[in-house]
Amino acid sequence: MAQRRTARGLLSRGEIVDAALAFAEEAGLQALSLHKVADRVGVRTMSLYRYVRDKDDLLDAMGDAVLTAMTVPEVESMTWEEALAALADAFRAAVRAHPHAAPLLLTRRINAPASLPMVETTLKVLTSQGLSAKEAVHVLRVYIAFLIGTLLREVGTAPTYASDSSALSAGSPDALADSGFPLVADAATELSVCDHEAEMKFGLAMFTAALRERLGAS
Amino acid sequence: MAQRRTARGLLSRGEIVDAALAFAEEAGLQALSLHKVADRVGVRTMSLYRYVRDKDDLLDAMGDAVLTAMTVPEVESMTWEEALAALADAFRAAVRAHPHAAPLLLTRRINAPASLPMVETTLKVLTSQGLSAKEAVHVLRVYIAFLIGTLLREVGTAPTYASDSSALSAGSPDALADSGFPLVADAATELSVCDHEAEMKFGLAMFTAALRERLGAS
DNA sequence: ACCTGAACACCGTTCAAGT
DNA sequence: ACCTGAACACCGTTCAAGT
């Protein structure tokens, strides 16, 4: 073991985080343990503690890494509508690259510097349209809340991408049709299918419409 | 122990779920274990397995219970704007009643029948304004994504309601001002404060504006 | 039918010890 | 400085056993 280590060079925080991310995508986040990560990295569990304060610290670092890997688009030459769509796309791509790790950045406190490039660019788009810093922050929060809710739904199809089209609520159309709720029954077919990309586009269109009105009013 | 049991009557799934919810609010979700729940209920760990398949099954039941406790408002006499606001309010109240358990219903798959009353009422409001079942489902999903993202932010101030005003991203205004991102620095004050109720209202207003436009167009 | 004792493999984390 | 062995209290879960 010590040999394999020296052969590969020193252990590092980055190597540990990468191993943890790889493990999470293979086996799921619940299966992740420091013991398993250590195994994968070829080291004994306790060695991790030189690079990682905690299991929680590791989880934070994983979320951070996923967010850092996001490529923030160049928005200079775009309309604001295109820019917001491109930002959403880039965020979605980063999340989909690590669906099992995604909850770490979607649900843990985003206090990471890693989120700032995206925030900065979004604020640039919004303020370039005449919003004040204050208004831009409110609009940013609505935008992010929508993105998080939408991506959580997409990625919350937790176990290993079970099926591509997943229900909003109860499983089968039949269960919904027999639920005893007339409008749910009417919409059973629609409710039991979810095209994540289309839903994202639909929501972005609503968001854009609302923002356009707000911009016009100012 | 057996005495205490028979004195109180039989153990039940509901009693276990209630104890688990109470424990989660006191000690946090990460501290929740079947051993601790059993302790609280006055029983040995293994007794729980007669009422609960799994720890996961218990967590599902907890989320379900929180959602079931939601009082769906009577919307008959309201405008659709008021109805959507009342629904959001009711959902928010249910979530805030169990902030530590909230992630269970906000991030786990909502396949629960418990969500159907709220879905039914929302669909009623939307279709009453002339939306087709299909359109109503799309709009519903945007609405729910926004609510989930927003409430997750509010409640994600995880540990025991640490502070009422919480940051979107990096902690202190100072850290944001020194982040090297000019627009983030400009908005540092706004970014470091978050009035959750006001943000919810702001987002609902945007959602309502977008929906109004969509209704007018059809 | 309902609860328990004993036991399992596994977990996060510590501390003192090796090189 | 970096890694490890031994050990800790605690997990989720099982199985066979009590009443």
Three-class SS state of A27: helix
Three-class SS state of A181: coil
Lowest mean pLDDT among A34-48, A94-108, B156-170: B156-170
Per-residue pLDDT, B85: 98
Per-residue pLDDT, B207: 98
Does A115 score more than 50 pLDDT? yes
Distance of CA A36 to the CA centre of its chain: 24
Q: By CB neighbour count within 10 A (0-12 exposed, 13-18 middle, 19+ buried), where does A141 fall? A: buried
Tokens read off for A191: 């409710």
CB B146 within 8 A of CB B207: yes
Judged by CB atoms closer than 8 Å, whether chains meet at A149 and B153 is answered as: no
Does A7 score more than 80 pLDDT? no
Give the model confidence (pLDDT) of A125-170 as tens digits.
999 999 999 999 999 999 999 999 999 999 985 443 334 444 444 4
Q: A-contacting residues of B 177-206, CB under 8 Å?
A: 179, 181-184, 186-187, 190-191, 194, 199, 202-203, 206
Judged by CB atoms closer than 8 Å, whether chains meet at A107 and B191 is answered as: no
Widest Cα–Cα separation across chain B: 68
Total Cβ atoms within 10 A of residue B202: 17
Q: B-contacting residues of A 91-120, CB under 8 Å?
A: 103, 106-113, 115-117, 119-120
CB A215 within 8 A of CB A129: yes
CA distances from A170 to A135, B59, B102 (A): 38, 17, 19
Per-residue pLDDT, B156: 83
Q: Considering only CA atoms, which residue is closest to the C1' of nucleotide C14?
A: A46
Residue A116 banded pLDDT, cuts 50, 70, 90: very high
Per-residue pLDDT, A174: 84
Per-residue pLDDT, B3: 40
Q: Which residues contact B3 (CB under 8 A, 6 or more apart)?
A: none
Judged by CB atoms closer than 8 Å, whether chains meet at A141 and B194 is answered as: yes
CA-based nearest residue to A202, from B147, B211, B118: B211
Give the model confidence (pLDDT) of A187-196 as tens digits.
999 998 999 9
Separation in Å, CA of B188 to nearest CA in chain A: 9
Per-residue pLDDT, A14: 97
- Rounded Cα distance between A6 and B130, Å, is 69
Per-residue pLDDT, A163: 40
Q: What is the pLDDT along chain B (218 residues), one digit of tens a residue?
A: 434 454 467 899 999 999 999 999 999 999 999 999 999 999 999 999 999 999 999 999 999 999 999 999 999 999 999 999 999 999 999 999 999 999 999 987 766 789 999 999 999 999 999 999 999 999 999 999 999 999 999 998 544 333 444 444 446 788 889 889 999 999 999 998 999 999 999 999 999 999 999 998 76
Tokens read off for A47: 């060695």
- Rounded Cα distance between B149 and A203, Å, is 13
C-alpha triplet B53, B95, B92: angle, nearest 5°: 150
